[in-house]
Structure 1
């Protein structure tokens, strides 16, 4: 299941939550296909100003950081380069489309692969 956790300044989220969730979901669907829409999970974590540091100092206007959880097997597919590139560029464009161009240079998208058997849902491992 694609799982995106977005960390951004709280003030950047105000009244944009729905737009950002929708745009990020569309970015996932653009790469994986329509089947992924119902299982894409987006969590928005708003960080208050002054609680995000870069270089040992509070950051003035940090760009969003995204942890994108996917199955590790995606990195071993023959089309993995296209998948990774599509997810990174699509997620970045979704964020820029909602929050504006000022964030583009610093948007970070980290794809985190979960090996089979290392994730449970509802107290059980999913069927392989």
Structure 2
């Protein structure tokens, strides 16, 4: 199940939540196929401008960052490099579609692999 956590300034996010969730979900579906739509989880984390720092000072107009959690096995597939590139590109394009071209250069997408058996849902470890 793909999990995307997006950190963005609250003032930039307000009113764009539905569009961002939809665009990010569509980006994942474009890579994995329609079957994945119901499994995509998006968490939007809006931060006040005083709570985002870069270089020891409050950030001035930071671009959104996305942490994309997927199964570690995805990185072992023969087509892993292509999948990673398509996910990074698609997620970046989705963020740019919602916030504008001016954020593109700073959008960070970090793909984080979760080892099988290291996630639990409802108290039960998921092994697949």
- Alignment TM class, shorter chain as reference: over 0.9
Which runs of 5 or more residues in structure 1 are unaligned? none
TM-score under structure 1 length normalisation? 0.98
* Secondary structure of residue in 1 paired with 2:15: coil
Which runs of 5 or more residues in structure 2 are unaligned? none
Query: How many residues align structurally?
Result: 128
Q: How does 1:47-66 map to 2 (within 5 A)?
A: 47-66=47-66
* Secondary structure of residue in 1 paired with 2:49: coil
TM-score under structure 2 length normalisation? 0.98
* Secondary structure of residue in 1 paired with 2:120: coil
Over 3 Å off, 4+ runs: none
- Structure with higher strand content: 2
Deviations 1:60-104 (A, max 9, x none): 100011100000000000000111001000000000000001110
The CA RMSD measured in Å over matched residues stands at 0.7
Q: What residue in structure 2 maps to residue 20 of structure 1?
A: 20
* Secondary structure of residue in 2 paired with 1:50: helix
